[in-house]
Amino acid sequence: MYDSLAGLVDFHCHLDLYPDHGAAVEEAEAAGVFTLAVTTTPKAWQRNNELAKKTKYVRAALGLHPQLVSQRASELDIWDLHFDETRYIGEVGLDAGPRFYKSLDLQKHVFKHVLQRSAKAGNKIISVHSVRSAKAVLDHIEAYLPVTQGKVVLHWFTGTLAEARRAVEMGCYFSVNATMFDGDKSQKLLSTLPLNCILTETDGPFTTINEQPAKPENVVVALNKLANLHGLQSIEMAAKIKTNLRNLLE
Q: Is the pLDDT of residue 238 over 80?
A: yes
pLDDT at position 3: 60
d(CA 36, CA 98): 28
Query: Which pLDDT belongs to residue 7?
Result: 86
Mean pLDDT of 118-133: 98
Total domain count, the chain: 1
Residue 77 belongs to a domain with what CATH number? Answer: 3.20.20.140
What is the reported pLDDT for 102? 98
Domain presence at residue 2: no
Inside any domain, residue 1: no
Report whether 25 contacts 37 (CB < 8 A): yes
Helix (H) / strand (E) containing 166: helix 161-169
Percent of the chain surpassing pLDDT 70: 98
Average pLDDT over residues 81-107: 98
**Residue 143: Cβ within 10 Å count:** 11
Q: What is the pLDDT of residues 196-214, one digit of tens each?
A: 999 999 999 999 999 999 9
- Measured CA angle at 244 (ends 25, 6), to 5 deg: 40
The stretch 124-133 carries a mean pLDDT of 98
Question: C-alpha angle with apex 178: 34 to 224, nearest 5 degrees?
Answer: 75
Local confidence band at 1 (pLDDT 50, 70, 90 cut-offs): low
Quote the strand ranges of 96-194, DSSP E: 124-131, 150-155, 173-176
Cα separation values, 45 from 2, 12, 49, Å: 33, 15, 6
pLDDT given for residue 2 in this prediction: 63
Average pLDDT over residues 217-241: 96
Q: How much is the average pLDDT of 83-100?
A: 98
**pLDDT tens figures, 25-81:** 999 999 999 999 999 999 999 999 999 999 999 999 999 999 999 999 999 999 999
Beta strands in 68-207 (DSSP E): 88-95, 124-131, 150-155, 173-176, 198-200
Whether residue 3 is contained in a domain is answered as: no
Cα 137 to Cα 130: distance, rounded to the nearest angstrom: 6
Whole domain around residue 56: which residue ranges?
Answer: 9-249
Residues 147-189 have pLDDT tens digits of: 999 999 999 999 999 999 999 999 999 999 999 999 999 999 9
Task: Give the amino acid at 54.
Answer: K
